[in-house]
Structure 1
């Protein structure tokens, strides 16, 4: 703290605050380029910095509204699971921690499931909520993914999974690790039904999530700059005691190595994802608008001119021999 910070009025301090700070503010500081962005402009740009294209965290509801056609979708309720089965306690009781995050986010767990149309294709979309205990994978999330897979099979619809997680939820111990094979079976159920399973990897996707359903997609998309891996780069550096390459475990690096099929900016996600789903479900390419009468006339004239200007077909070798024989006989 310097002398200027001490004399700055509290009201001014509240206006300029980084995205990680809590409270209602008018401006957000980009963590990548330090640009100050008006919050209304940031929301209109889907929480992507207009200066450096840094993709910040986006609310689950905002993501789903931007993805589904006309922002219309139906929320699927998560199945109920036992609360604090291990009676775990660290700095506070696990049950108290769950109650705190449920009040903060308004969600039951770190997953939101929506059903709606993406570019005209009815789809089931599950989005991990990083704001709920870091998107950690526990029984609630595992049951939610199974519920989403069952909904996709029931409606014969594609299943799209947006991942964002720090890994398994330590407060549930072995019960959280059991969600890895359970969610894998849920994905297999979708594939056996002949339905597409598309994964969109967002920042960050790590731990047991990466080791299970996050890497089982028919196609893997990723947002720019997303951290994707099992263990984080800091842990890897401390283990191997070597400096990692530039951009290691980022979406662009993994795309170059073939682990990610496509890096898609958030503003293009609906268009790209919708196109993939239309191909997978054989909806075909959308028809182009009908041509105007003037345009039709131009097309007809162009077609006619192309036909009349075509060269005459060449004579076959056999026909040429016959023609030469005829000319010889005529000369005789």
Structure 2
């Protein structure tokens, strides 16, 4: 049986021209169950065309979609101790970090980059949920502060894309200390008169919403994003009441004044550029005025005899 399986069947398949099809060519829409070809989805910035559902994307993809021509320069993040508390649960914290780095090809959950958006120089800070749920630890906190300092030194606005489950429990109090540190970074940026725009993506929860993610000049949310401090299930168990439909979703929060606008990812870049031009008092492009076409003048009536 092994000889047939391992030798005869592969030879027959190769003779017939059979090829293995990758499993990730088609992606299922979580809302409708529709199958979407991955190339079409990538060209649409991972927004399902039929339902408008926004899929999670990596930090590098986010930067590529955001900056002009997808061109940007990554900033080197500060180095911090990997395991300050020597934490261990089911496995060592250092092993969890190694797994996350291998999976995402990132050093931690934050990427900082410089580039331009419709010609405006901007600093962007992006949180990647794939790296340990975008949790906020010492490395992420230092990276965010570094992003603010870079914006101050270059005198550029900062756009932050938040995606997080909250503080990183493996770093305990050292993780919670990043909340006031990042808040000071926000204050310094505002004192310098530089715009700070926050884009809340799915999900943005925990201590992140208790600090830098809710301190922007303008808060933009992607459609359907879960935004809040505690999760809906925890709140229901605490207050012992059923929460309203769509509670803590972007649209619900905009109706109740928690976010300024809900913007599709496809329109995010142009919307942010327009907001920055307003906040920086930059000249807005003026549409050319088309000359008004007047109807031809009627010939004057000749005076008739006796009139």
* TM-score, scaled to structure 1: 0.81
Confirm or deny that 1:37 pairs with 2:36: yes
Q: CA deviation at 1:75?
A: 0.3
The aligned runs of 1:288-299 (5 Å cut-off) are: 288=287, 298-299=291-292
Q: Distance in 2 between matches of 1:219 and 1:278?
A: 13
Q: CA deviation at 1:286?
A: 1.6
The aligned runs of 1:148-187 (5 Å cut-off) are: 148-187=147-186
Over residues 10-33 of structure 1, what are the superposed CA-to-partner deviations in whole Å (9 max), with x where a residue is unaligned? xxxx96xxxxxxx85110111111
Over residues 288-328 of structure 1, what are the superposed CA-to-partner deviations in whole Å (9 max), with x where a residue is unaligned? 3x57xxx5xx44x65xx9xxxxxxxxxxxxxxxxxxxxxxx
Q: What is the number of residues matched between the two proteins? A: 278
Q: Distance in 1 between matches of 2:246 and 2:30?
A: 17
Over residues 126-161 of structure 1, what are the superposed CA-to-partner deviations in whole Å (9 max), with x where a residue is unaligned? 010000000000001100011000110111100111
Q: Distance in 1 between matches of 2:46 and 2:244?
A: 28
Over residues 28-76 of structure 1, what are the superposed CA-to-partner deviations in whole Å (9 max), with x where a residue is unaligned? 1111111101111111111111111011101211111111111111101
For structure 1, the residue ranges without an aligned partner over 5 or more in a row are 1-13, 16-22, 306-332
Please provide the CA RMSD for this pair: 1.8
Contact 1:119 1:275 in 2 (8 A): no
2:12 counterpart residue number: none
Q: Distance in 1 between matches of 2:77 and 2:94?
A: 18
2:78 counterpart residue number: 79
Secondary structure, in 3 states, of the residue corresponding to 2:228?
coil
Q: Distance in 2 between matches of 1:24 and 1:199?
A: 35
Confirm or deny that 1:230 pairs with 2:229: yes
2:104 counterpart residue number: 105
For structure 2, the residue ranges without an aligned partner over 5 or more in a row are 1-19, 298-307
Q: Distance in 1 between matches of 2:113 and 2:286?
A: 27
Q: Distance in 2 between matches of 1:64 and 1:214?
A: 18
Q: CA deviation at 1:77?
A: 1.1
Q: CA deviation at 1:223?
A: 0.1
1:51 counterpart residue number: 50
Q: CA deviation at 1:79?
A: 0.4
The aligned runs of 1:9-20 (5 Å cut-off) are: none
1:3 counterpart residue number: none
2:9 counterpart residue number: none
1:189 counterpart residue number: 188
Secondary structure, in 3 states, of the residue corresponding to 1:173?
helix
1:5 counterpart residue number: none
Q: CA deviation at 1:287?
A: 3.5
Q: Distance in 1 between matches of 2:191 and 2:23?
A: 47
Q: Distance in 1 between matches of 2:61 and 2:83?
A: 30
Confirm or deny that 1:221 pairs with 2:220: yes
1:61 counterpart residue number: 60
* TM-score, scaled to structure 2: 0.87
Over residues 195-249 of structure 1, what are the superposed CA-to-partner deviations in whole Å (9 max), with x where a residue is unaligned? 0111000000000000000110000000000000000001001111111000000
Secondary structure, in 3 states, of the residue corresponding to 1:70?
helix
Cα–Cα, structure 1 residues 274 and 245, in superposed 2: closer, same or farther, change >3 Å? same
Q: Distance in 2 between matches of 1:40 and 1:159?
A: 31
Q: CA deviation at 1:99?
A: 1.1
Misfit runs of 4+, over 2 Å? none
Q: CA deviation at 1:193?
A: 0.8
The aligned runs of 1:223-262 (5 Å cut-off) are: 223-262=222-261
**Which structure dedicates a bigger proportion of its chain to helix?**
1
Query: Looking at CA atoms only, which structure, 1 or 2, has the larger radius of gyration?
Result: 1
Which stretch of the first structure deviates more once superposed, 98-107 or 201-210? 98-107
Confirm or deny that 1:120 pairs with 2:119: yes
